[in-house]
Structure 1
Amino acid sequence: MTAQRACALSELEQDAAKRVEVDGVAISVVLDSNGDVHAIGDTCTHGDVSLSEGFVDGDTLECWAHGSAFSLITGKPLNLPAFEPVPVFVVTIDGDDVLIDPNVKKEI
């Protein structure tokens, strides 16, 4: 499979997460304060809730329900109660399109 359009770059708000679904996979897409776009699995590994409803702080996305923060770079939780990472996906920008292949995890 190849990367598919997840959303438009212009739809993203800086320092906010947007939930998208690509080929049935829920993904949080984040435009950080440096202008970089990140894509991580949208489901918190602790509470099975949507991470895109959480809070972006620098290069982390914090779960709104229990406070676990996940690195947008590695997917690793930075604090408890979560202890399992979420997947991180490769993002390609083509014009205004944000492209993600949900079958290709970013190598950390």
Structure 2
Amino acid sequence: MIAVCRVEELPPGESTRVFADVAVAVFNADGEFYAVDDTCTHQDASLSEGFLEGCFVECPLHAAFFDLRTGQPTCLPAKRPVRTHPVTIEDGVIHVHVAGHAGQSENAQEQEAVA
């Protein structure tokens, strides 16, 4: 589990990046917090630098969209999902449970089963 920041330090519509075994992008989408691997699956752009629209993030490089709830791409050029990570709030602090760091998220396990 990785402590990201206090809830009030990540306002709605904003994102941040944390590092564990991989870089992870953490988003505040209208008060709901989501975390995905920070690298676009199309090319190596940082999703934390992308554009947040509701529960979707647009890659800043080639405009691929990803659903932050599932990691699934919603348009080309991305074809593969980004790995998602569970987020919890404890005592006002956002925590990310990074897949492969302290147990894996269900999304990561499904992706490994397909590979």
Correspondences of 1:78-93 after superposition (within 5 Å): 78-93=74-89
Task: State the 1:17 CA deviation.
Answer: 1.8
Q: Tell me the number of residue pairs that the alignment of Structure 1 and Structure 2 aligns.
A: 104
- 1:58 positional shift: 0.7
Provide the residue aligned with 2:23 in structure 1. Answer: 26
Aligned partner (choices 60, 78, 89) of residue 64 of structure 1: 60
Any unmatched runs of 5+ in structure 1? Answer: none
* RMSD over aligned Cα atoms: 1.5
TM-score (norm 2): 0.83
Aligned identity (percent) is: 38
Give the structure with the higher percent helix.
2
Mapping for residues 35-46 of structure 1, pairs under 5 Å: 35-46=31-42
For the structure 1 residues 73 and 62, does the alpha-carbon distance in structure 2 shift closer, same or farther, using more than 3 Å as the test?
same
Q: Hey, which bits of structure 1, 4+ residues long, moved more than 6 A?
A: none
Alignment counterpart, residue 13 of structure 1, candidates 5, 11, 14: 11
Per-residue deviation, 1:70: 0.3
Question: How far off its partner does 1:106 sit?
Answer: 4.4
1:105 alignment counterpart? 105
Amino acid at match of 1:4: I
Q: Report which of the two has the higher share of strand.
A: 1
Task: Provide the C-alpha distance between the structure 2 equivalents of 1:54 and 1:91, rounded to a whole number of angstroms.
Answer: 19
| TM-score normalised by the chain length of structure 1 | 0.88
Query: RCO higher in 1 or 2 (8 Å CA, sep ≥ 6)?
Result: 1
